[in-house]
Amino acid sequence: MTTPHGVVQTPAFMPVGTRGAVKAVTARDLEDLGAEIILGNTYHLYLKPGDALIARCAGLHKFIGWNRPILTDSGGYQVFSLAAMRRIDDEGATFRSHIDGSLHLLTPERAVDIQAQLGSDIAMVLDECVGPPPGSDPGRSFTHLGSDPGQSVTHISADVARIAMERSAVWAERARRRQLQLRDDPGSAPEVTIMNPGQAQFGIIQGGTDPGLRTESVQKTLEVGFEAYAIGGLSVGEPVDVMYDVVAHTAPRLPDDRPRYLMGTGMPDDLVECVARGIDLFDCVLPTRNARNGQLLTSRGPMAIKNARYAEDMAPPDPDCTCYTCRHFSRAYLRHLFVVGEMTAATLNSLHNIHFYLDTMRRIREAIVFGSFEKLRREFHQTFSRRPQI
Amino acid sequence: MTTPHGVVQTPAFMPVGTRGAVKAVTARDLEDLGAEIILGNTYHLYLKPGDALIARCAGLHKFIGWNRPILTDSGGYQVFSLAAMRRIDDEGATFRSHIDGSLHLLTPERAVDIQAQLGSDIAMVLDECVGPPPGSDPGRSFTHLGSDPGQSVTHISADVARIAMERSAVWAERARRRQLQLRDDPGSAPEVTIMNPGQAQFGIIQGGTDPGLRTESVQKTLEVGFEAYAIGGLSVGEPVDVMYDVVAHTAPRLPDDRPRYLMGTGMPDDLVECVARGIDLFDCVLPTRNARNGQLLTSRGPMAIKNARYAEDMAPPDPDCTCYTCRHFSRAYLRHLFVVGEMTAATLNSLHNIHFYLDTMRRIREAIVFGSFEKLRREFHQTFSRRPQI
């Protein structure tokens, strides 16, 4: 995938840099880890420090000191899951900031403008997310780990899913029109400072868990026409098999010469399983969030580092791993840092988990090239798939 | 200064790794910054994870993944400033853990044994600290910055200072006897696992701000005889000129072929001024603690990064600085990270502040070699000394 800030090898995983930083690590760490692209959250950056300020500071890349590609979401997901109040109508989403309660209106056009001012390499359209039930912890919906699959099913009626899908399609058209206006006739929008004229725009397929709605959403979104397409509205509490089925249904209907991006997924085995179903691009807070909560993702399964059994365990967290953390530190030390609450615990755990994700993607790419992807997939399933924590 | 884990160029500054980690940075960061020695806090490591556990994990160096020299304090300072309860008598210090209220007895011998099990390169003797008044925030006493010098004077009566000095001298003798026992006849103390047979032991000069008491403490401590000597009981709230005077009085009375260590000091100009008075070794939490509080120490003076004036300031924090933070990030970005509470703020600020301290020591060493130390001292005084924050 080629962007104004360089090439991204796909399938790729994007570490999440919510507020202009991937939590607990530095840009230098990310470069060392081989991250080729990161994700920034428009909702957070819009509220603080603001897209206008970032534009005056030469755009998001310069502002955060990251010269490789950046994808920004539209802000919609956080409006739906994080804002203090939200009201959706055809115009857009009216919401109150979770920081100071201030009132904001996010429209499809405004989401385009904000991302134009951020200057990301890939901008996402505003869509209506019906996944996370209001008031739910948005983070929980990302992780299947340790949760009872039956418990986390979100019941979304077909009506709600249809309305959201149709509204998203209308919004997609408005967003595209605005994007093309800024691209073709920037002088007509003097209020927007376009920081990255080569910015691509991705459309998003909605439709919940209904294959018919998904097909319809694909048709409507392809009709609008974007540089590439994402699958939204998954990993929001539905059973993992349902998620896989929706991906298997939707991905092949998207152009195979464009990257297909599965938003907000997932567990390490989700990466492998969804690549098998045609996905090229992933993002998820799981590796960094779980790191801060003391969960290491390893080739032998997830590991709760605070477990007393590691108190004197001088082995590296993952003996098969070549990351900085595993090459230099023991389970005993990482447990100690976590138990006493040292920030360095978050850093070392995050370095490992991000490495594990990026290394998984490297292995997937290699396996595809060498024709051994199905073998890798079986191995991964046996050694990792949702087994109890070690 | 030569230690079992390598040579330390003096004068040197030791970043403080309280609980087995210098807060917010990794060992790799510290190595990159050129740190040649760090300090570990015996009080914290004794309580968690415990010196016996660290010994079973092959000693502090292996446990924390740091192969360069480590100095450990005796734990006394934290008992006096941090413990939930403390009672001092001739035997030692009885205290309750600030973590779980458990009861502990720290004697001069026990402080030796704990540090023997940690395996640091330099162990400090247990002394009686009368500096910080009970219940005071131990951190505040470290920083002169922004405080009214008059306000922070601690009044310690000559009697209290004499009793503490005399008790420290007796404790020094007991500590030395125990150290030599472990060194010469380790079999006689099978309950202690000696992790570093080459460990040095430093005595500590006490005596408050009374030159007579300081002279007496020097005599008593030299009589006991240690590998080298430290000046304790300063930077605990006394006016900075008094601190300088005590250093000027005490340092020349210590052997000039051994490093002289000024404990717990201080501000950047304190480093220069105390080197001028004969000091070779420093430690202080100030660079890392102030970093976490958003204060950058720069060649132009201290900088409060959260200041609104930096919101769109794309200059590096310190244009004369060559650290990672200053080479890659702007004041605007660091302010943003600090304001939104990203951990990366603590990391980037700490990298800068530690670099500033270590670089100051490098400049001091160079100036000494080239005979330009007095010039450096004047410059430093003009550009840094206690001026208002920028």
Per-residue pLDDT of A215-267, as tens digits, reads 999 999 999 999 999 999 999 889 999 999 999 999 999 999 999 999 999 89
Which pLDDT score is estimated for A153? 43
CA distance B269 to B143: 12
pLDDT at B182: 98
C-alpha–C-alpha distance, residues B376 and B271, integer Å: 12
Q: Give the model's pLDDT for residue A17.
A: 97
* Radius of gyration of chain B measured on its C-alpha atoms: 20
Q: Which of residues 200-229 of B touch A (CB under 8 A)?
A: none
A329 touches chain B (CB under 8 A): yes
CA distance A304 to A354: 16
pLDDT classification of A386: cutoffs 50, 70, 90: low
Higher pLDDT residue, A171 or B157?
A171
The residue type at B276 = A
A28 touching B (Cβ < 8 Å): yes
Q: Please report where in the chains the tokens 């691209």 appear, as a residue.
A: A183
- Taking only the tens of pLDDT, chain B with its 390 residues reads 999 999 999 999 999 999 999 999 999 999 999 999 999 999 999 999 999 999 999 999 999 999 999 999 999 999 988 888 999 999 999 999 999 999 999 999 999 999 999 999 999 999 998 754 444 444 333 322 223 334 344 456 778 899 999 999 999 999 999 999 999 999 999 999 999 999 999 999 999 999 999 999 999 999 999 999 999 999 988 999 999 999 999 999 999 999 999 999 989 999 999 999 999 999 999 999 999 999 999 988 899 999 999 999 999 999 999 999 999 999 999 999 999 999 999 999 999 999 999 999 999 999 999 999 999 999 888 876 654 555
Kindly state the helix (H) or strand (E) to which residue A39 belongs, with its residue range: strand A38-40
Which residues of A fall within a CB distance of 8 Å from B336?
19-20, 48-49, 63
Question: How far does B57 lie from chain A, in Å, by closest CA?
Answer: 6
Does a cis peptide bond (omega within 30 degrees of 0) precede residue B190?
A: no
Residue B121 has, within 13 A of its CA and on its CB side, a CA count of 21
Q: Which site among B18, B333, B335, B350 would you substitute to test the A interface, given the most A Cβ atoms closer than 10 Å to its Cβ?
A: B333
Mean pLDDT, residues A57-86: 95
Please, which residues have CB within 8 angstroms of residue B36's CB and are 6 or more apart in sequence? B6, B7, B8, B9, B12, B68, B69
Residues of A in contact with B349 (CB under 8 A): none
Retrieve residue B209's tokens: 């701000």
| B256 is a catalytic site residue | no
- Give the whole-angstrom CA distance, residue A92 versus residue A96: 13
Query: Count of residues for chain A?
Result: 390
- Is the CB of B289 inside 8 Å of chain A's CB atoms? no
Smallest Cα distance from A244 to chain B, Å: 34
Coil, strand or helix at A17: strand
Contact A328 B28 (CB under 8 A): yes
Rounded to whole angstroms, how far apart are CA atoms A166 and A170?
6
Find out whether A292 and A281 touch, Cβ atoms under 8 Å.
no
Quick one: pLDDT at residue A156? 67
Provide DSSP, B310-376: GTT--S-S-TT--SHHHHH--HHHHHHHHHHT-HHHHHHHHHHHHHHHHHHHHHHHHHHHTT-HHHH
Q: What strand order describes the sheet that includes B103-106?
A: B85-88, B93-96, B103-106
d(CA A266, CA A347): 20
A82-99 as b/e: b if 16+ CB within 10 A:
bbeebebeeebbbbbbbe
- Alpha carbon B103 to its chain centroid, in Å, reads 26
What whole-number distance in Å separates Cα of residue A280 and Cα of residue A254? 12
Which tokens sit at A349?
A: 């755990």
Is the CB of residue B300 less than 8 Å from the CB of residue B390? yes
**How far is the C-alpha of B328 from the C-alpha of A63, rounded, in Å?**
10
Most distant CA pair in chain B, distance:
65
Asked if pLDDT for residue A10 goes beyond 70, the answer is yes
Put simply, whether B105 touches A (Cβ < 8 Å) is no
Q: Do B27 and A328 touch (CB under 8 A)?
A: yes
Give the residue on A whose Cα is nearest the Cα of B52. A312
Q: What DSSP assignment string belongs to B15-72? A: -EETTSS-TT--HHHHHHHT---EEE-HHHHHHTT-HHHHHHTT-HHHHHT--S-EEE
Burial class (CB in 10 A: 0-12, 13-18, 19+), B62: middle
Question: What pLDDT is stored for residue A146 in this prediction?
Answer: 29
Contacts of B58 in chain A (CB under 8 A): 314
Q: Do A23 and B49 touch (CB under 8 A)?
A: no
Tokens of A107: 């429209």
Confidence of residue A142 (pLDDT cuts 50, 70, 90): very low
> What's the confidence (pLDDT) of residue B83?
87
CB distance from A193 to chain B under 8 Å? Answer: no
Q: CA gyration radius for chain A?
A: 20
Give the pLDDT of residue B386.
Answer: 55
* Inter-CA distances, B127 with A320, B124, B138, Å: 47, 9, 17
Can you tell me the distance from the alpha carbon of B345 to that of B38, in angstroms, rounded to the nearest whole number? 22
Residues 40-79 of A with CB under 8 A from B: 44, 48-49, 53, 56-58, 62-65
Give the pLDDT confidence score for residue B171 in this predicted structure.
Answer: 98
Q: Please list every residue in chain B whose beta carbon sits closer than 8 Å to the beta carbon of residue A97.
A: none
Cα angle A25, A26, A32 (rounded to 5 degrees) comes to 95
Find out whether A48 and A28 touch, Cβ atoms under 8 Å: no
CA gap A36, A50 in Å, rounded: 25
CB contact under 8 A, B26 and A58: no
The rounded distance, in Å, linking the Cα atoms of B34 and A271 is 40
Average pLDDT, stretch A118-141? 71
β-sheet bridge partners, residue B16: B39
Cβ neighbors of A298 (< 8 A, separation 6 or more) are A317, A318, A320, A321, A356, A390
Task: Tell me the average pLDDT of chain A.
Answer: 92
Closest C-alpha to A63, from B327, B310, B333: B333
Q: How far is B262 from chain A (nearest CA, A)?
A: 27
Separation CA B261–CA A259 (nearest Å): 61
Alpha-carbon span B64 to B57, nearest angstrom? 10
Local structure of residue B127 (DSSP, 8 states): -
Whole-number Å distance between alpha carbons of B33 and B380 = 21
Percent of chain A with pLDDT over 90: 86
How is residue A66 written in tokens? 């990251």
Under 8 Å between Cβ of B375 and B272: no
Question: Residue A332 is nearest to which of B23, B63, B347, comparing CB atoms?
Answer: B63
Pair of tokens at residue A294: 């003391």
Query: In this predicted model, what pLDDT tens digit does every residue of A310-347 receive, in sequence order?
Result: 999 999 999 999 999 999 999 999 999 999 999 999 99
Catalytic residue among A269, A270, A283, A359: A283
> Token pair for residue B47?
């309580």
**Biggest distance spanned by C-alpha atoms of chain A:** 65
Residue B187 tokens, joined: 């079999």
Q: What is the mean pLDDT of residues A346-361?
A: 98
A378 touching B, CB under 8 A?
no
- Whether chain A has a CB inside 8 Å of the CB on B347: the answer is yes
List the catalytic residue out of A73, A127, A270, A318.
Answer: A73
Q: Which residues of B70-99 are buried (b: 16+ CB within 10 A; e: fewer)?
A: bbbbbbbbbbbbbbeebebeeebbbbbbbe
DSSP codes of every residue in A70-124: EEE--SHHHHHHTSSEEEE-SS-EEEE-TTT--EEEE-HHHHHHHHHHHT-SEEE
Phi, psi angles (nearest 5°) of residue B120:
-65, 165
- Please enumerate in sequence order all residues whose Cβ is within 8 A of that of B371, keeping only pairs 6 or more positions apart, or say none: none
Contact with chain B for residue A308, Cβ under 8 A: no
Q: What is the identity of the amino acid at A71? A: L
- What band does A129 get if pLDDT is binned at 50, 70 and 90? confident
Active site residue A100: no
